[in-house]
Amino acid sequence: GAVVSQHPSRVICKSGTSVKIECRSLDFQATTMFWYRQFPKQSLMLMATSNEGSKATYEQGVEKDKFLINHASLTLSTLTVTSAHPEDSSFYICSAPQLAGVLNTDTQYFGPGTRLTVL
Amino acid sequence: AQKVTQAQTEISVVEKEDVTLDCVYETRDTTYYLFWYKQPPSGELVFLIRRNSFDEQNEISGRYSWNFQKSTSSFNFTITASQVVDSAVYFCALSSAGSARQLTFGSGTQLTVLP
């Protein structure tokens, strides 16, 4: 199946620093990617939709100036957590849909996730 | 608005028992897709199945089977002869028709299979 990678898998940073997380679709192109956030023992919550060549679409309540998203190419989206604080500590997961045929029965493939800890 | 409900927060079974994970969804779309994902302790989401709303045929894959009942808006997942390696959080998810749609996830069910 399709593969989506994320880097880094784990990051620990000091409060006030910025952290960049990369999401790559390894064997297919994705004009759209999604960024989710997951708190411990909770479900995945969509943060934003990353669009190649245009601005990201943020979900209600997600600060776009804090969570910067750049979809630089058809295989790469980056999420930058700016001026990170302890409350930003979470598990961040990206996904990319792989289209399948004329029925657009795409399937979302998820990256392995990035565990961010802000001290 | 779309909604996915997984009423079972945690389930524990003994190895070799069968277990069914429930999923009920709400959507106004006439065409939509349903998914099940497995999330082991490592955190990575593993895709299990995608079901289109216009295909109500149930599916079996090895020890896994899925029962899609459009009349009751349910998409239940059964593991037969459970194994310890099945222990994980299982998420049911829903997306609208069309390409590149984001998923709406249920709250997940923590399955623990005891040896």
Cβ neighbours for A52, distance < 8 A, ≥ 6 positions apart: A30, A31, A32, A71, A72, A73, A74, A77
What pLDDT was estimated at residue B54? Answer: 86
- Choose, out of B102, B104, B107, B109, the residue to mutate when testing the contact with A (most A CBs < 10 Å): B102
What pLDDT was estimated at residue A40? Answer: 87
> What is the average per-residue pLDDT within A23-38?
92
CA-to-CA separations, B89 to A33, A41, B47, B77, B113, in angstroms, rounded: 23, 9, 12, 13, 11
> What is the average per-residue pLDDT within A31-43?
92
Q: From the CA of A100, how many Å to the nearest CA of chain B?
A: 9
Q: What is the pLDDT of residues B9-53, one digit of tens each?
A: 999 999 999 999 999 999 998 889 899 999 998 888 998 998 888
> Given a cut of 90, is residue B106 above it in pLDDT?
yes
> Given a cut of 60, is residue A104 above it in pLDDT?
no
What pLDDT was estimated at residue B60? Answer: 87
What pLDDT was estimated at residue A71? Answer: 92
What pLDDT was estimated at residue A105? Answer: 56
Q: What is the pLDDT of residues B40-90, one digit of tens each?
A: 988 889 989 988 888 888 888 899 999 999 999 999 999 999 999 999 999
> Given a cut of 70, is residue A102 above it in pLDDT?
no
**Could you give the CA distance from residue A16 to residue A119 in angstroms, rounded to a whole number?**
9
Q: DSSP assignment, residue B49?
A: E
Check CB contact under 8 Å for B102 and A46: yes
For B:2-61, CB contacts with A below 8 A are 33, 35, 37, 42-45, 47, 50, 52
Q: What is the pLDDT of residues A44-76, one digit of tens each?
A: 999 999 988 889 999 999 999 999 999 989 999
On whether the CB atoms of residues A15 and A119 are closer than 8 A, the answer is: yes
What pLDDT was estimated at residue B98? Answer: 60
Check CB contact under 8 Å for A31 and B100: yes
> What is the average per-residue pLDDT within A69-98?
94
Q: From the CA of B18, how many Å to the nearest CA of chain A?
A: 24
